[in-house]
Amino acid sequence: MFKYLFLFLFSLAFINVQAQSENYPITIQVLNDLKTPLVNAVVKQDHEKNMITNADGIAVLYLSKGKHTLLITLDSYDEKELHIHVEGAQTYIVELKKETKIAEVVITAKEGKGLTSKSVINRQAMEHLQPSSFADLMELLPGGLSRDPNLSTTNRVLLRENPGGPSSYNTTSLGTQFMIDDNVWNTNANLQTSVDDTQMGEAPRNRATPAIGVDMRTISTNDIEKVEVIRGIPSAAYGDLTSGVIKIERKIGYSPLEARFKADGFSKQYYVGKGFLINKNWSINANLDYLDSKQDPTDDYENYQRVTASLRSKLNTTLWQKPLEWRSTIDFSNNIDKKKYDPDTGYALTDSYKNSNQRVSFTNNFIYKLDAASIFDKLAINTAIRQGFESIEQVKLVQLSGPRALSLATTAGENIGIYPDTRYVAESSTNGKPLDLSIFAQASGSRKFGKFNNQYEIGLDWKYSKNFGKGQQWDLTTPPSATIGTRPREFNDIPAWQNLAFFAGNQISYNLNQHKFSLYTGLRVSKLLGIDNSYIISKKIFAEPRINLQYNLPHLMIGNYPLKTDVTLGYGILYKQPTLLMLYPNSRFTDYAQVNYYHDDENYRYVNFMTYVQNRENKNLTAAKNIKKEIRLDLSYRGHDFFITYFKEDLNNGFRSTLQTKINTYKKYNTSYIDLSQWGENGPDLTNVPYETIREFGNYTITENGSATIKDGIEFGYTSPRLKGINTKFTLTGAWFKTQYRNTVPVIERPEISLAGSNYPYYGIYQSDLGYINENLNYNFMIDTYIPNLGLIVSASVQGSLYNYEKKDDRIPEPTSYIGLDGVVQPFLDSDRTDLYKQWLVRNVSVTDNISTRETYTIRANFKVTKIIYRSLKTSMFVNRLFSYEHSYYFLGNKIERQGGNKPYFGMELNYNF
């Protein structure tokens, strides 16, 4: 930690390097093509103060000896770059030509050229894409491909990762931070797990969000002005993340009344919004959005609905004669998942599932500008309060195959149970009320010391999360399952989650003749507060250094035009803290029937249980750590832009749920010795009833730092200028992703066999579970044409994968050790391979394990068009997979023909600005 702090302080230290050489006056006269002087032209020299030409088109700069690069710009004229070598006082005449740029629209993500890799998606790109939710925007990132909306399950975000990773590797999506109008969307108090997540084909499990972070279905794009997706190393101001940052900026300021209607094969969407100008310094924006979706249009019994509303204010005023900007928002959203059985299927009509998620938030952001001469010239304070009202309601018809016994105990020990009806209706619910508070304070400024320009920041970041809900509730006499392993728990009993962080960063810019260097060094230090001392994490302080270096090479002149070359390197450590559900999971209840006496006369029915309560808290749980590295090359020449980025990310201690076991003992009474004549008010007299002491494995799960997600990849992109005459632009983006998924903690397994009519008496302890390697190379080539006179934008894209590689491996058959019913861990020896019992511990590794699958290329053609019909009425339509081809491939010598996923998907929308 100290070496990172030293590096930061070194970069932030006052650097007083004075130029030793004498400065000479350099006179620049700017003319147009008619040799007429141009007034107010800007002459910029590297990072120095800009000079403005006077009425004679003249600006004078004082430069030291050596090479310098000047940039001359003026509205409505093409910019000019001038390379000079100063030996003394000199005069240069520069001629600017009238601007001939074509009216530009950008309908793809634009790659940022700053110190970190990021994609910027503007409003035009979103309107042309015609998204149903935020998940559709992922197509615009390098390596992203179009996909049909799937709004009947959660949509988790994946940055620089192959889709299809197992659910035990969700840390990368949990570790992607969403920010809306500079306020973090905190999900650490999300405890909405279903009481019965296997109902209706695991419908609750497919809609669960506690382990994935933000569900992208819940974010509407209609009022978004711009999105920045930071895929590289962010500044130290961002924390509690591992993968990246997604910054959403919504519309603010005056806008006409807007309306949008979209329909496709899965959903209908309605939107209305308006920006009001109260006065020249105060504006208010209001909008309302409604989405109704069915994954199967013919199925009225499975439905997802989203309602969002927002009221946003921006006020520019003064405080102590200094400018103050105050942004305030009130947001409401309601997301409802509903599922019932179709009565024509013959299933019980009582079964239903409803998941309602409401959220109300109130934010205030303040930006206060001080004097430029102050150490800090800008102060920012962002505050947010978010209250959620979440509810899962389930109704299920339970039909038991015969008499079953239930324990009603809520504490450990012996207890008397009941025999429920063999047919009953179970009602259960999960009620959550997550409250999230956040305060973000940042002070920033800039200073120049000698030739070094410094832009620095310092601040505090505090986040608080608490759930005040009633939690999981159900009637113990009518549970959704006869073998349920938990008991009702109120969320309000769980402590709050608090994270306090301090951060500081500095960006140094330095010019050496035509060489430009920019170095950002930052350090973030964070700590969880309010954690009991029994947790290891309560004593830990997490340090996150961030470094980004960019080198702008001297421009290479080719045909009187400069080739701009930038090389950027980045390194950073990022931490994601465990959530409330990981730190404080519900206890595991294991009930063993000691006496199970079922008599025809209900007065002589009796069941006695021994109940064990296992605390599932993992005191050794710590934050997930991701180490990110990247190197990027940017080239730009005459409007042609190209970038290529290599990145590597090592996350070796992600969160995963692992199986544990302990030895439980209970009495097994011989019920044939029960004497009905000795029956009392509390059941039979067991004094003289013989019993056997049984030892059994008691299984439960805990959350461990046991998942490794290793990412390697290359992202690339090329954008052409819009060609004159045909107003056409070409864009090529793509990425090669290789993602490895490994478990990093031992796993236990027991063979699913029965020996001599009894359960298998050993658990094997294995060094590894099944690992995965996913690798692919995706491409997306787009041609778009813009015709201003017709108000028409047409785009066609050809996209797909050049190959798709998957492999399951790293599954070792033999255990390293094993545990028996005596509770003693023993090493697994070679002699155990032939033991009558222990030989079964050698796992039967499938023949498909360690065999790779390599699919060949796919081609898909998509078409989109946007047209202004009449004045402010605009319509758009799209067709995905207008043409689709999936080349055959070979697996184990067999030719595999692929036909799936070739059906076109289309939709349209109307937009009207009143």
Mean pLDDT of 99-119: 82
Structure-model confidence comparison of residues 4 and 448, the more confident one: 448
pLDDT at 806: 92
Q: What is the pLDDT of residues 844-886, one digit of tens each?
A: 876 667 788 999 999 999 999 999 888 788 899 999 999 999 9
As a whole number, the mean pLDDT across the chain is: 90
Local structure of 835: helix, strand or coil: coil
Categorize the per-residue pLDDT at 4 as very low, low, confident or very high, splitting at 50, 70 and 90. Answer: very low
Q: Cβ contacts of residue 836 below 8 Å, gap of 6+?
A: none
Burial class (CB in 10 A: 0-12, 13-18, 19+), 205: middle
Categorize the per-residue pLDDT at 99 as very low, low, confident or very high, splitting at 50, 70 and 90. Answer: low
* Pairing mode, strands 894-896 and 471-474: unpaired
Exposure string (b/e) for 424-462, b if CB count within 10 Å is 16 or more?
bebbbbbbbbbbbbbebebbbbebeeebbbbebbbbebe
Q: Is the CB of residue 766 less than 8 Å from the CB of residue 749?
A: yes
Question: How many CA atoms lie within 13 Å of 147's alpha carbon, on the beta-carbon side?
Answer: 16
Which residue from 774, 675, 626, 712 is spatially nearest to 241, judged by alpha carbons? 626
* Pairing mode, strands 90-95 and 24-31: parallel
Exposure string (b/e) for 679-709, b if CB count within 10 Å is 16 or more?
eeeebbebeebeeeeeebbbbbbbbbbbbbb
Q: Is the CB of residue 552 less than 8 Å from the CB of residue 565?
A: yes
pLDDT at 36: 84
pLDDT at 454 over 50: yes
- Region class of 204: left (phi > 0), else alpha (psi between -120 and 50), else beta: alpha
Q: Is the CB of residue 239 less than 8 Å from the CB of residue 503?
A: yes
Q: Is the CB of residue 770 less than 8 Å from the CB of residue 744?
A: no
Amino acid at 532: D
For 15, 65, 69, 551, 554, the CA distances from 512, given in Å and listed in that order, are: 15, 11, 11, 11, 10
Which residue from 458, 628, 450 is spatially nearest to 548, judged by alpha carbons? 628
pLDDT at 10 over 50: no
Q: Is the CB of residue 518 less than 8 Å from the CB of residue 507?
A: yes
Q: Is the CB of residue 149 less than 8 Å from the CB of residue 132?
A: yes
pLDDT at 79: 80
Q: Cβ contacts of residue 489 below 8 Å, gap of 6+?
A: 471, 472, 586, 587
Q: In terms of residues, how long is the chain?
A: 914
* Pairing mode, strands 224-230 and 183-184: unpaired
Mean pLDDT of 576-595: 96
pLDDT at 7: 47
DSSP 455-519: EEEEEEEEEEEEE-S-EEEE-TTS-S-TT-----B-GGGSPPEEEEEEEEEEEEEEEETTEEEEE
Q: What is the pLDDT of residues 121-132, one digit of tens each?
A: 999 899 899 999
Structure-model confidence comparison of residues 445 and 770, the more confident one: 445
pLDDT at 81: 82
Query: Residue 681 phi/psi, 5° resolution?
Result: -65, -30
* Pairing mode, strands 452-467 and 434-449: antiparallel
Q: What's the CA gap between 184 and 213, in Å, rounded?
A: 12
Share of the chain above pLDDT 90, in %: 67
What are the tokens at 758? 């009894």
N-terminal to C-terminal alpha carbon distance within the chain: 57
Which residue from 370, 366, 336 is spatially nearest to 353, judged by alpha carbons? 336
Q: Is the CB of residue 777 less than 8 Å from the CB of residue 734?
A: yes
pLDDT at 15 over 60: no
pLDDT at 362: 97
Place of tokens 């009474």: 669
Q: Which of 336-345, 471-480, 552-561 has the lowest mean pLDDT?
A: 336-345
Q: What is the pLDDT of residues 706-759, one digit of tens each?
A: 999 999 999 999 999 998 888 899 999 999 999 999 999 999 999 988 887 788
Place of tokens 């793809």: 108
DSSP 13: S
What are the tokens at 176? 């992607």
Q: What is the pLDDT of residues 632-650, one digit of tens each?
A: 999 999 999 999 999 999 9
SS percent in the chain: helix, strand, coil, step 5: 10, 55, 35
Q: Which of 76-90, 791-805, 848-862 has the lowest mean pLDDT?
A: 76-90
Q: What's the CA gap between 582 and 657, in Å, rounded?
A: 9
Q: What's the CA gap between 654 and 797, in Å, rounded?
A: 37
Q: What's the CA gap between 173 and 244, in Å, rounded?
A: 9
Question: Strands, E, within 215-321: which ranges?
Answer: 224-230, 244-250, 255-264, 267-279, 282-293, 302-319
What are the tokens at 673? 């010795």
347-353 contacts at long range (C-beta below 8 A, 24 or more positions apart): 348/397, 350/395, 350/396, 350/397, 350/425, 351/199, 351/200, 351/395, 351/396, 351/397, 352/393, 352/394, 352/395, 353/199, 353/200, 353/203, 353/204, 353/392, 353/393, 353/394
Query: Residue 33 phi/psi, 5° resolution?
Result: -70, -10
Q: What's the CA gap between 360 and 341, in Å, rounded?
A: 32
Q: What's the CA gap between 173 and 739, in Å, rounded?
A: 14
pLDDT at 186 over 50: yes
pLDDT at 708: 96
Mean pLDDT of 820-830: 94
What are the tokens at 612? 């064990």
Q: What's the CA gap between 341 and 353, in Å, rounded?
A: 10
Share of the chain above pLDDT 70, in %: 95
Q: Cβ contacts of residue 800 below 8 Å, gap of 6+?
A: 145, 778, 779, 857, 858, 859, 860
Point out which residues pair with 504 in neighbouring strands.
458, 523
Q: What's the CA gap between 72 and 242, in Å, rounded?
A: 42
Amino acid at 475: D
Categorize the per-residue pLDDT at 102 as very low, low, confident or very high, splitting at 50, 70 and 90. Answer: low
What are the tokens at 296? 């199967």
Alpha helices (H) in 713-819, listed in sequence order: none
pLDDT at 773 over 60: yes
Q: What is the pLDDT of residues 150-177, one digit of tens each?
A: 898 999 999 999 887 888 899 999 999 9
Question: Strands, E, within 210-254: which ranges?
Answer: 224-230, 244-250
pTM: 0.89
Residue 541 has a CB neighbour count (10 Å cut-off) of: 9
Mean pLDDT of 292-305: 86
pLDDT at 299 over 90: no
pLDDT at 372: 82
pLDDT at 166: 85
Q: Which of 264-268, 297-301, 333-337, 531-535 has the lowest mean pLDDT?
A: 297-301
Q: Cβ contacts of residue 224 below 8 Å, gap of 6+?
A: 123, 126, 248, 249, 250, 251
pLDDT at 348: 60
Q: What is the pLDDT of residues 682-710, one digit of tens each?
A: 899 998 999 999 999 999 999 999 999 99
Q: Is the CB of residue 519 less than 8 Å from the CB of residue 11?
A: yes
